[in-house]
Chains A and B, each alone.
Chain A
Amino acid sequence: MKRVFLFIPVIFAVVLGVFLFAGIGKDPNKLESALIGKPVPEFRLKDLHDEERELTREVFKGQVSLLNVWGTWCPACRDEHDDLVWLAEEKGIRIVGLNYKDNRDDALVWLDRLGDPYQVSIYDPRGRLGFDLGVYGAPETYVIDAEGIVRHRHVGVVNEKVWEQDIEPLVNRYREKI
């Protein structure tokens, strides 16, 4: 009977091992958004293309959209850009751009040269909406459902793999709910 107690440290070590092993391979830089399941924060910002036009979170109503946070200062955004153009043109995805802490002229030149995947472009030079979204780097991409609720956040570049594995299933699911 007493010998059984000798195994307690072994059991303890195994449990601890399983617990710690579960953390291996997780990217600690990817934080879950605090906004999942909540509406896009309220904002009132100018259109990137049209200084006169004011945009609010109404732009997300009615359709499932991706909200892509980008800036010309962000090298990873350059990597991602072609895939966004592909998503918009080939897959017919509605992408809303959030030009984050950037310069309007630089951003317009970039879109002119590389193609414009965004159906709507929000200009956020001071990063106000970005801050309210909890953006801590760029690029970041959010899945927003037709009611304007944040459903998913992807930190980092969206490429074909990320699209197929993480984002497309969600977009399809929330499209069906409309």
Chain B
Amino acid sequence: MIRAVLAALLLMAFGPSSMAQSDDVYSFDSRTEEQRFQTLISELRCPKCQNQNIADSNAPISKDMRDEVYQMMSEGARNEEIVDALVSRFGEFVRYKPEVDSRTILLWATPVIAVVVGFLVVAIIVIRARRNGESEPALTDEERARASRILAGDDSDRTS
């Protein structure tokens, strides 16, 4: 029963919707090739619709781009060649994963910068707290000795 529900959910998540656009028209020699095609078209952005990849988009330009990807694949092009061919026409925009270069370096570096800054802030706070702690210890030696006597059950030190 649970299996059936899970299977249905999986189908809903990964089944028809993600396959809908690029189904019937293309035929592949192997399952791997088909997977490769699906991956490629899901990593390319539609220039017309902008928030969709060309796998999900109905725009005519997405269809043309899928055709081009398929065409180049059947001519034996490598993935980078295919993506580069589309970037040279439509610009860096069509990559969902932009390349690391002078314009996009900040984009890539931001998470690292954020983590480093956060780490520095935490480190500064910790170091400061520690330094303050050293300068005025909470208990003197005498107080500490008294405290351990109390904890050991010797009540003679109690003031009240």
Chain A interface residue number, banded: 10 to 19
Binds A, one of B6-14, B84-92, B150-158: B84-92
Chain A contact surface mostly: loop
Contacting B68 at CB < 8 Å: which of A101, A131, A136?
A: A131
Q: Flag if A136 contacts B91 (CB, 8 Å).
A: no
A146 interface contact, C-beta 8 A? no
> When chains A and B are docked, how far (Å) is the Cα of A31 from the Cα of B92?
10
* Contact among A28, A33, A34, A132 for B87, CB-based, below 8 A: A34
A120 within 8 A of B: no
Nearest residue (CB) in A for B62 is A136
Interface flags for A33-49 (1: CB within 8 Å of B; 0: not) read 11100000000000000
Q: Evaluate whether A34 and B89 lie within 8 angstroms (CB atoms) in the complex, with A131-B68, A136-B47, A137-B48 already known.
A: yes
- The residues of B with any CB-CB pair to A shorter than 8 Å are 46-48, 50, 59-61, 64, 68, 87-93
Query: Smallest Cβ distance from A156 to chain B, in angstroms?
Result: 13
Closest A-chain residue to B50, C-beta based? A28
Taking the closest CB of chain A, its distance from the CB of B131, in whole angstroms, is 14
How many angstroms between the C-alpha atoms of A84 and B157 in the bound complex? 102
Q: Which residues of A39-93 have CB atoms within 8 Å of chain B's CB atoms?
A: none
Nearest residue in A to B59 (C-beta to C-beta)? Answer: A136
Select the residue from B64, B68, B93 with max chain A CB neighbours within 10 A.
B64
Q: B90 and A34: CB pair below 8 A? A: yes
Nearest CB on B from A168, distance (A) = 25
Given contacts A127-B64, A131-B64, A131-B68, contact A136 B48 (CB under 8 A): yes
Specify which chain B residues have a CB less than 8 angstroms from the CB of A29 in the assembled complex. Answer: 50
Closest residue of chain B to A132 (Cβ to Cβ) is B89
CB distance from A38 to the nearest CB of B (A): 9
Contact call A31/B90, Cβ cutoff below 8 A: yes
| Residues in A whose Cβ lies below 8 Å from that of B60 | 101, 127
- Contact (Cβ within 8 A) A133 B89: yes
Please pick, from A101, A127, A131, A134, the residue contacting B91 in the complex, using a CB distance under 8 A: A134
Cross-chain contact B91 with A31 (CB below 8 angstroms): yes
Q: In the complex, what residues of B have CB within 8 A of residue A133's CB? A: 89
Q: Show 8 A/B contacts (Cβ-Cβ < 8 Å), sorted by A.
A: A31-B90, A34-B87, A34-B90, A35-B89, A132-B89, A134-B47, A134-B89, A137-B61
